[in-house]
Structure 1
Amino acid sequence: MSTLWIGTSWKMTKTLAEARAWATGLRDHLGDTAGGGTASDSAGDTASDGARGATAPSGVQPFVIPSFTATTTVSEVLGEDSPVLLGVQNAHWEDAGAWTGEVSVPQAKDAGAQIVEIGHSERREHFGETVETTRRKVAAALRHGLTPLLCIGESAEVKERGGSSAFILEQAAGALQGLDAGELARVVIAYEPIWAIGEAGRPATAEELVAPFAALGAAYSGKVSGLLYGGSVNLDNAADLLGIEHVSGLFVGRTAWRLEGYLELLRIAEAHAAGRRT
């Protein structure tokens, strides 16, 4: 049975104080779950005794992707031994150089990142990211030992033409071109249809996701670390989404920005994982 990935990207939200409070709450919750202590850490500079005893919910891999400014804060609060993986929302494909405003994979890793989010539709739309740049970024993340979280997804127009599966397979294949089996096994793919994400997004029905995940499953199931779904995920539909064949996790926005929402998603995923074992 594969692990269920449950993660959130904060996009351009949260101050350092808000990030510290969210991370401290998660750290202490996982410490409680593991039977560890819950020593106070108001400054957020070091991990508490509870963090060192923390464990992820059974069958679940939690991850969080804050804004760049909060990366080191969240890393320090969670602690080195945290079961929660930490990510960044973007990174350049070059290791260093005259790329004003960019952050390299080595810099992200130095700040504590273990995951690099790549190719989100907002990056493609507003910042001109292409299949070729996603390929370069995937390669850079792998080169430095980080997990590429490749985002793919189609527009409403593509969906209406019946081309969803072909479109997302082309996006994925272009970004993953040239990888050997070992490298591919370190990749996580998040399918996020553009029509379902953001404030204006419409939650997808489980029936709408069967065909895209059947296509992704045929191409990548057992070959990548995870096939995630993201797009208007909430506490009411999370369990149904996890029940779709080939879905091995959720990549969540607003619902998980509140710590209580994220903790509930972890609980739902843990219950789902337990059900798959029985």
Structure 2
Amino acid sequence: MSTAFWVGTSWKMNKTLAEARDYCHQLHSADIFAGPRLQGFIIPPFTALAQVCQDLHATPFKVGAQNMHWAEAGAFTGEVSPRMVADCGASIVELGHSERREYFAENDIDLNRKVHAALDQGLTPLLCVGETAEEKALGAASETVLRQCRMALSGVSSDDLARVLIAYEPVWAIGDKGIPASAEYADWVHGEIRRALPADSRGNPPTVLYGGSVNPDNCGDLASMPNIGGLFIGRSAWQARGLIDIAERVLSAREAQV
């Protein structure tokens, strides 16, 4: 398969600098990520962002921030600007995770500003979208996810859409009590996202990843689905060996499809 399959993780609010450096050190010997088959990525907390960028600089891994403000500078205490994210050496910024939406009141208008600011700074937005259990039960999963995509990506050109990553993360599948979506259900939602993209972007569309209780048991099935372009892993990849193990399983599953 010519297109790299994305495999990565966000550490959320975990890892000291020493723990982050040890994780990165273990990745230096992860040959599974060499070559064009897989694209690995790590999204550490801000306290470790510059260090992780430095430690993984000579590796195939991309590094991202977990959030940012849309303004280039200003009186926004506690926030980090797109320019600061890029200055750390990061190339990706995660936007719109359901925890940011729920606990910090981020909305789709905010996310649209952040997406544009990230693209203007040369960063790759990793836009997280997903429905709640209630929205799924009411049959509104597709409508919810497509609304989030349309609003956050409004005004983005077809050329810039190719630079965007979308992570479908159903809210009911996230966390230690999350229930993973079946590979078939996840693939259906990914297909809905792809079909809803503007017609002029479909030749070079955004990559759509699945996130939500990805683990060693389900990663192969998810990676075998035609509409899933990568996996955004949580706690199963918070140890380097866990990320490497999932990457190996993913590659085996995808090669079996050839």
- TM range, smaller chain: over 0.9
Superposed, 1:103-114 pairs within 5 Å as 103-114=80-91
Change (3 A) 1:137 1:164: same
Q: Which residue of 1 aligns with 2:153?
A: 176
Q: Which residue of 1 aligns with 2:214?
A: 233
Q: Which residue of 2 aligns with 1:267?
A: 248
Instruction: Tell me the TM-score normalized by structure 1.
Output: 0.87
Determine the C-alpha separation between the residues in 1 that align with 2:195 and 2:175. Answer: 28
Conserved 8 A contact 1:91-1:137 = yes
Conserved 8 A contact 1:87-1:115 = yes
Do residues 188 (structure 1) and 189 (structure 2) align? no
1:75 aligned to which of 53, 61, 79? 53
Residue type of the alignment partner of 2:45: S
1:222 CA displacement: 4.4
Residue type of the alignment partner of 1:177: S
Conserved 8 A contact 1:56-1:62 = no
2:191 aligned to which of 214, 227, 235? 214
1:218 CA displacement: 1.3
Deviations 1:84-136 (A, max 9, x none): 00000001100000000000010011111100000000000000100001101
Provide the secondary structure at the position in 1 that maps to 2:63: strand
Query: Which 5+ residue runs of structure 2 have no aligned equivalent?
Result: none
Identity of aligned residues (%): 47
Do residues 166 (structure 1) and 143 (structure 2) align? yes
Provide the secondary structure at the position in 2 that maps to 1:245: coil
Q: Which residue of 1 aligns with 2:9?
A: 8
Determine the C-alpha separation between the residues in 1 that align with 2:246 and 2:35. Answer: 11
Q: Which residue of 2 aligns with 1:66?
A: 44
Determine the C-alpha separation between the residues in 2 that align with 1:222 and 1:208. Answer: 24
Residue type of the alignment partner of 1:22: Y
Conserved 8 A contact 1:57-1:270 = no
Consecutive aligned runs of 4 or more in structure 1 exceeding 6 Å deviation: none
1:57 CA displacement: 4.7
Conserved 8 A contact 1:58-1:270 = no
Q: Which residue of 2 aligns with 1:202?
A: 179
1:246 aligned to which of 221, 227, 233? 227
Conserved 8 A contact 1:58-1:273 = no
Root mean square deviation, CA, Å: 1.5
Residue type of the alignment partner of 2:41: F
My pick for the range that moved more, 99-108 or 221-230, is: 221-230
Q: Which residue of 2 aligns with 1:39?
A: none
1:223 CA displacement: 4.0
Do residues 100 (structure 1) and 77 (structure 2) align? yes
My pick for the range that moved more, 146-155 or 215-224, is: 215-224
Aligned pair count reads 253
Conserved 8 A contact 1:60-1:269 = no
